Amino acid sequence: MTESGTPTGTPDPMVIRHLEYLGPMATIDGWRPEITLPEIAFVGRSNVGKSSLLNKLMRRKSFARVSTTPGRTREIHFFDVNHQFVLADLPGYGYARISKERKAEWRPLIEGYLGTSPRLQGVVQLLDVRHDPTNDDYVMMDFLADVGVPTIVAITKIDKLKPAQARARVEELSKRLGLDADQVVPFSAHTGAGRDELASALMQLLAMPDWRTTEEE
Ligand SMILES: Nc1nc2c(ncn2[C@@H]2O[C@H](COP(=O)(O)OP(=O)(O)OP(=O)(O)O)[C@@H](O)[C@H]2O)c(=O)[nH]1
Ligand SMILES: [Mg+2]
């Protein structure tokens, strides 16, 4: 097995050949990259482990900054991955120490982006294996369900529990949230578990027909 949990010899489902920062989007009518590629957005409560997951996924040590001060990122950050898709890293939501006004500033950006982005192909929602979903998590999941965009749920920090405990929690969370097994990816940024499964789920998302047009037919 390699560090990422792949049996030796199994091809990497997402070899990162090109990774380029495109820039930040600070307001819904502000700058955003020209839309030429499908986009995949990453969302989650602040401190859920999003930056760590993105670093592992991209096989970079400090592609996304692992923060010591939660709730710092206020913009959507865009990256070109392999000229194949645009990765949108959304600000972490629901950090308790952020004032109500700050939260009110973020919602239009997050929801505006997710609700209107013409090439949004899928969303990866992160949940911490140790915690029950918060009210903010439910608000986000309901919103994504309303939009109708295909969603993958990455369950983070599974190394923090014993393997059997982690499996039981993943099952419990999936059941509670009504998720199909193929929508759920248990993940650890520390051990690399789930990296290739997530990469492979993203490749499948990218291969799907546009959900907006298929829904109208
Ligand atoms: N044990 C363990 N700790 C993790 C894992 N992923 C992240 N952490 C820790 O959780 C904390 C938050 O990680 P980040 O990756 O910065 O989380 P984030 O969601 O990007 O946080 P913000 O950007 O501040 O909203 C850090 O102390 C990480 O070291 C994991 O898979 N296992
Ligand atoms: Mg972060």
C-alpha Rg value of the chain to the nearest Å: 17
Q: Are 182 and 150 in contact (CB under 8 A)?
A: no
Distances in Å between the Cα of 36 and the Cα atoms of 32, 33, 80, 186 are 12, 9, 10, 31
Which pLDDT value is given to residue 107? 81
How many angstroms separate the CA atoms of 87 and 35, rounded? 12
Which pLDDT value is given to residue 73? 63
Distances in Å between the Cα of 113 and the Cα atoms of 18, 28, 40, 195 are 24, 7, 12, 26
SS3 category, 5? coil
Q: What is the whole-number distance in angstroms between the Cα of residue 51 and the centre of ligand 1?
A: 7
* CATH superfamily of the 19-208 domain: P-loop containing nucleotide triphosphate hydrolases (3.40.50.300)
Q: Are 156 and 188 in contact (CB under 8 A)?
A: yes
Q: How far is CA 78 from the centre of its chain?
A: 13
Q: Which residues surround ligand 2, an ion (CB under 5 A)?
A: 50-51
* 21-45 per-position pLDDT tens digit: 999 998 999 999 999 999 999 999 9
Which pLDDT value is given to residue 93? 86
Counting from 1 in the atom list of ligand 1, the atom nearest the Cα of 47 is 21
Low-confidence stretches of the chain (pLDDT < 50) are 1-2, 217
Sort strands 19-25 and 85-89 into parallel, antiparallel or unpaired: unpaired
DSSP designation for 12: P
Q: What is the whole-number distance in angstroms between the Cα of residue 44 and the centre of ligand 2?
A: 9
- CA within 13 Å, CB half, 217: 6
- Which sign does the torsion angle of CA 167, 168, 170, 171 carry? positive
* 54-86 per-position pLDDT tens digit: 999 999 987 776 655 555 567 899 999 999 999
Give the closest residue (by CA) to ligand 1 atom 24: 70
Q: Which amino acid is at 75?
A: E
Which pLDDT value is given to residue 114? 95
Which pLDDT value is given to residue 69? 57
Q: Where are the domains of the chain?
A: 19-208
Q: Which amino acid is at 42?
A: F
39 Cβ contact partners less than 8 Å away, ≥ 6 residues apart: 78, 85, 86, 87, 88, 117, 119, 120, 121
175 Rama class: left (phi>0) / alpha (psi -120 to 50) / beta = alpha
Which pLDDT value is given to residue 63? 75
Which pLDDT value is given to residue 102? 60
Q: Which of 3, 62, 66, 77 to mutate to test the pocket of ligand 1 (most atoms within 8 A of CB)?
A: 66
Q: What is the whole-number distance in angstroms between the Cα of residue 157 and the centre of ligand 2?
A: 14
How many angstroms separate the CA atoms of 200 and 202, rounded? 5
Which pLDDT value is given to residue 200? 97
Q: What is the whole-number distance in angstroms between the Cα of residue 52 and the centre of ligand 1?
A: 6
